Each structure stands twice: as C-alpha cells, then as structure tokens.
Amino acid sequence: MTTMAEPQVQTEPTRRRFNVDEYMKMAEVGIFSKCGHVELIDGEILTKSPDSHPQCFTDAMLAVLPDPWFPPRHRFSVEDYYAMAEAGILGIDERVELIDGEIITMSPIGNEHAASVDSITDFLVPLVTGRAIVRVQAHLRLYEQNQPEPDLMILKRKEDYYRHSAPGPDDVLLIVEVSDTSLSHDRNVKLPLYARFGIPEVWIANIPARIVEVYRDPVDGEYTNTHVCRPEETVSPAAFDDVEIPVSQFIGAVSDEKEDNRPESG
C-alpha cells in the first residue's frame, strides 16, 4: 500500500503580531504601565520617540539611538508574558516563547519532530532516573526577558521537581533542540542565548542533515567546544558520560527513512 508522505512545513519561528483588541487588553492589565508611550503598527507594538517619553530610556540607551529616530519594538518581561497568558491574550494551546523580550511564535511540530522528541525521551529517562529530571517542551526562565521552551532538558534533580520555582540556567545540565524547519532560529538565536546564560551543553538534532551537533563549554556568550555526531555514532551528555545514546534515536534509523514506493520493474 502506498502511503502519503507528510508535507514539510517550511515555517521559521516569527515574532507574534497583535490585534487592536489584544493591544487594548494589554493596557488594561497594566503591561505598559512602566513605559506607556507605545503604539500598534502593523501588528507590532512600537515605542515612541524618547523626546515624548524620556523615562523609558537610560543615558546608555540614548547614546546609541539611531539618527534619525526609528521606533524600536516594545520588549516584554517574563512578568508581562504571564500576565498576557492570564488575560487570555496568549492562548492556552498557543506555541510561543519569550526571547530577548520578544514573543516568538514557534514552528508547528511535524511527525518527524514529534517522533524524535518521543524517541530520545523514552531512551533517556530510564538511564538518568534518580540522578536527574528529564523535562520535555517546558519553559526555562532565563531572568527578566527570556523564557524559551526547549524540546528537552536534563535538569539537576530536586526533591520537589521544581514545583515551587521554575528551573533557571544554573539548574540545567543539557538542552536538546530538535531542528527541522527551525534550524536557522535554533542555531542563530537560541544557541547564542543559551551560551550567554551559561547553559553548559546544548545538542541540536539537525534533522535535514541527519546529525547531532554538540555544543559545550560556553565562554563569553559562545560555545568553545563543538563537534558533530553522525547516524552510526553515539553521543553522551558531559554530565553523564556513562550514558551513550545512539544518534539514530534522534533522527531515526536508516530503515526508517522514506519508503521507496515505486512499483517493481518487470
């Protein structure tokens, strides 16, 4: 029987845009109370000129403003982010994350992406149970303006399982991002963010290239130790060098690649 391949969704993560009703609701719940001189233009919330609202700008910010003035996008805090969720501006099922004060709409999860996350989770959990916590597609708080949602994290073990406080950068042993259509965003936006906050190790499961990219030892916002693991190899977290994970757990075995549905000749 011939099966229909799932269409590849070519969608990079993008900044979320807002409508007038959402904008007005943000004002109602006090999101702009600290810096209220903003306006909504083409779905983006922009900060007006510093001349009209100088308390929004420090001397250091004013020193590097462009001339002529071009209004920057308003940056949200984690507190704002939660307030928007509580007010219903961000939907319960909406796939978004907060990166450098901007709310980013994440790419849809396709079958291959979901299968990779499930596969590595099933393989990894029994190997670190009792020593660490494996958390899947949940938020990580990186101080005031960042709350990304990695595909998978290995966290330091806590008896309350982070029930009373969200994990922060000091709690993370490993982050895994599964990247198909989001590869550019994961490499160029999220990876530098993780390095900046001292996340000790990040893996990018590069689905198109069928490899796992390993990044370790962040120094001054960059990873200084990088290498690539191929389908026939294994990869181990630096925190658990006794745990060996076949790269095929991330990208599927060769036999899992698309079936050849051509009819037999003759």
pTM of the predicted structure, to 2 decimals? 0.81
pLDDT tens for residues 190-236?
999 999 999 999 999 999 999 999 999 999 999 999 999 999 999 99
Tokens of 79: 């507190």
**Burial category of 101 from C-beta neighbours within 10 Å (exposed 0-12, middle 13-18, buried 19 and up):** middle
Residues of the chain with CATH 3.90.1570.10: 111-256
Short-list 93, 61, 96, CA closest to 78:
96
Distance CA 210, CA 207 (A): 5
Among 206, 152, 162, CA closest to 184: 206
Q: Which residues pair with 179 in a beta bridge?
A: 206
Tens digits of per-residue pLDDT, 149-185?
A: 999 999 999 999 999 999 999 999 999 999 988 899 9
CATH, range 111-256: 3.90.1570.10
Looking at the chain, the whole-number percentage of residues with pLDDT higher than 90 is: 65
Neighbouring residues of 172: CB distance < 8 A, sequence distance ≥ 6: 140, 153, 154, 155, 156, 199, 200
